[in-house]
Amino acid sequence: MPGRILNGNQIRDQILAEVSADVAQLVESGVRPGLAAVLVGENPASQVYVRNKMRASEKVGIASRTLTPSADITTDELLAIVEDLNQDDAVDGILVQLPLPDQVDAAKVLLAIDPAKDVDGFHPVNMGALATGAPKLVPCTPAGLIEILDRSGIEIPGKNAVVLGRSNIVGKPAALLLLGRNATVTICHSRTQDLAAKAREADILVAALGRPAMITREYIKPGAVVLDVGINRVTDPTEAERLFSYKPQKLERFQEKGSALVGDVSPADMEESASAYTPVPGGVGPLTIAMLMKNTVTACRARRG
């Protein structure tokens, strides 16, 4: 029997409705949360991401604006923009959309963001707070993973959780959040020996490796909960046939569009082996922007009392 689908779109809508109510309450008290995005250059994917974030802001009532410096900006010029936003009391959240042009020191720019306005949750101050069990602004995708588990009635305490991937954006903070909820956590990565055996120990398996459909049935303990963070575009017809032959409708859509999205987990194996799982698309992805909105409200309340 196929596993239960953990519908990220439904959970996103729940969170956005709650955030909208929180914003309305703040506005009644005379405070409107503010979010500023810095979009350098004209990267098409970055433009889409920022546009979606700004639309979500408008939907929940957060005041939003996008700054669009040219692609030839220097590190010092971008640092000056960030400092202006740090000093602007109407701005509660700052996000600098990555990637930045090669001539810009991205690490230096991200470090310059006021930790109290770091709604992406990447600043070392916020990562340190998470690591010491006192989270403030938490990276959005890992925070979304916990929301999915909680709102789907999946118990975390005492479970074996295995996180595949050790990035600062997903893997490490996801492991820390699960540890903070009393799971027993293992982090695996490219140097892990016998990765499949380690993954099979998981009651909760988080796949964040960035490799399309790498995780197959031999990695999944029957009945495990699988959270697939990967978003990979497949364009090769042979690969699409291998991945989607079990779902003729999806294969038909691939043939019409010439591409399809797949996570880090083989979709057929995940459906067959997991007791519950996040699909791609429509699983973890929708939660990232919802948690960004939630972080902006959290930052507003912390900053403005």
- Active-site residue set: 53, 97, 120
Tell me which residue has tokens 């959290």. Answer: 298
3-state secondary structure of 55: helix
Residues in contact with 301: Cβ distance below 8 Å, sequence separation at least 6, in sequence order: 26
Token output for 224:
């495990």
Q: How far apart are CA 125 and CA 102, in angstroms?
A: 25
Nearest Cα neighbor of 265 from 300, 291, 237, 226 is 226
Nearest Cα neighbor of 280 from 48, 6, 50 is 6
Residue 63, phi then psi, degrees to nearest 5: -70, 125
Residues in contact with 12: Cβ distance below 8 Å, sequence separation at least 6, in sequence order: 286, 287, 289, 290
CA distances to 46, 57, 102, 220 from 42, rounded to whole Å, are 8, 21, 14, 40
Token output for 19:
């955030």
Q: How far apart are CA 27 and CA 170, in angstroms?
A: 32
Q: How far apart are CA 257 and CA 136, in angstroms?
A: 42
Residues in contact with 261: Cβ distance below 8 Å, sequence separation at least 6, in sequence order: 231, 232, 233, 234, 280, 281
Q: How far apart are CA 267 and CA 33, in angstroms?
A: 39
